[in-house]
Amino acid sequence: MDNNQSISIESGDFAGLSNLINLDLHRNQISSIESGDYTGLTSLTSLRLDDNPISNSQDVIDFITTLDAYSLDDLSIDDNIYYGNQAAFDIWDAIGGNDLTIFKTGDLFPYDGDRVVDGDDLAVLLANWGPVSPGTRADLYLYPNTMVAVKLNGAELKDWLECSANQFNQIDISSTAPQSLINWDTHRTYNFDVIDGVPYQIDVTQPSKFDNDCAVVDGNENAERITELSFEDAQGVIHTGEDLAAMEFIVATNNYRAFGGKFAGTGPEHVVLELPDENRDVLAQYITAQTEAHGQVNTAADHNWSFKTIDTATALDIRFETQDTDKAATFINETKQRAMTKVSVDELGFAVYQIDLTVEPTTK
């Protein structure tokens, strides 16, 4: 039923189809879903609702729960479906929340507001431990980007990270007033990159060298937010400063970033390898290989970057926003490396947390 002009799903449309396994409703014009008797769809394992202008997340939640679809291996609800911040967790709770083990950022749940750049990425999707099927590769990595490698030097690598660090506002160490950590106004979150393989810290008390387009900010030519940047080679030698700046590196990224030329060290002249493989397919293949070899995929953050601890006698009030859900709160409590305390809920419905950057982090 994909690629049609269906505008609604009505009661009884799929009644009695107890052997139906795959239900594909993507690329229609479905704007709402009515509740109905869909309990006969007890064998459904794959459901596609993407590319539909559904405006109410509760429609999707009601539809899924009435399906008794707790064994879904593949649920696709991206693209033109718009939800508020709570729905990211509600929808997965509706199907048991037991199929994905991921955090994900993307345009799955766009949200406009006075703190958010129009069309910016915002949502983070969190689900409980459980199997990841090959069909969920689009949920692991939303966009059909391909794998590309670029060659750059250490100075360019540092500037790449300096541009990413514009994601954060400059913190005034002499102010006791609330200060927002996240630069919602002028930096899109998809322009915040983390590069693994090199440890570094971000000093948010310093001004940003670059703006959202990686153009040098007038007067900030010598600004440095990236500190403690180093690289340990195969012989165990640690390189820093001018030594590291002169070294050459290969960075694996995607075609969008590699050919964009916005970040230092990117652009066609830096590309040294271009593969036809989509990032999400490579990820799915890795998951399959690791599962076959070890029975599961063992992942853990290596904490190669962190905020530089702020040295001040002032009682700072630094804040950030995230989803206001029990699941998000539990995740923060179980994985936080610094003291984080929920202080309010803002006008957009997001939880506001206070974070203490004046004490060294603890590793969990």
Q: Are residues 126 and 2 in the same domain?
A: yes
Of the chain, the percentage scoring pLDDT greater than 90 comes to 38
- Does residue 85 lie within any of the structural domains? yes
CATH number of the domain encompassing residue 231: 3.90.780.10
pLDDT of residue 234: 87
Per-residue pLDDT reduced to its tens digit, 232-241: 988 999 999 9
The span from the CA of 340 to the CA of 362, in Å, is 12
**Confidence grade of residue 303 (pLDDT, cut at 50, 70, 90):** confident
Side chain identity, residue 1: M
What confidence tens digit (pLDDT) does each residue in 111-134 have? 333 344 333 333 444 444 555 554
For residue 64, the enclosing domain spans: 1-131
Does the pTM of the predicted model rise above 0.75? no
Residue 129, Ramachandran bin (φ over 0: left; ψ between -120 and 50: alpha; else beta): beta
In the predicted structure, residue 85 carries a pLDDT above the cut 50: no
Number of domains the chain contains? 2
Please tell me the distance from the alpha carbon of residue 8 to that of residue 27, in angstroms, as a whole number.
12
Q: Say if CB 287 and CB 139 are below 8 A apart.
A: no
The answer to whether residue 327 sits within a structural domain is: no
Q: Are residues 127 and 150 in the same domain?
A: no
Indicate whether 115 and 203 sit together in one domain.
no
Q: In which band, very low, low, confident or very high, does the pLDDT at 103 lie, cut at 50, 70 and 90?
A: very low
Same domain, 34 and 117: yes
Instruction: Give a yes or no: residue 238 inside a domain.
Output: yes
Output the CA–CA distances (angstroms, integers) from residue 254 to 103, 165, 277, 280, 295, in the order listed. Answer: 19, 20, 10, 11, 29
Cross-strand partners of 179: 318
Mode of pairing for the β-strands spanning 46-48 and 74-76:
parallel
Classify residue 295: in a domain, yes or no: no
Query: Which CATH number do you get for residue 76?
Result: 3.80.10.10
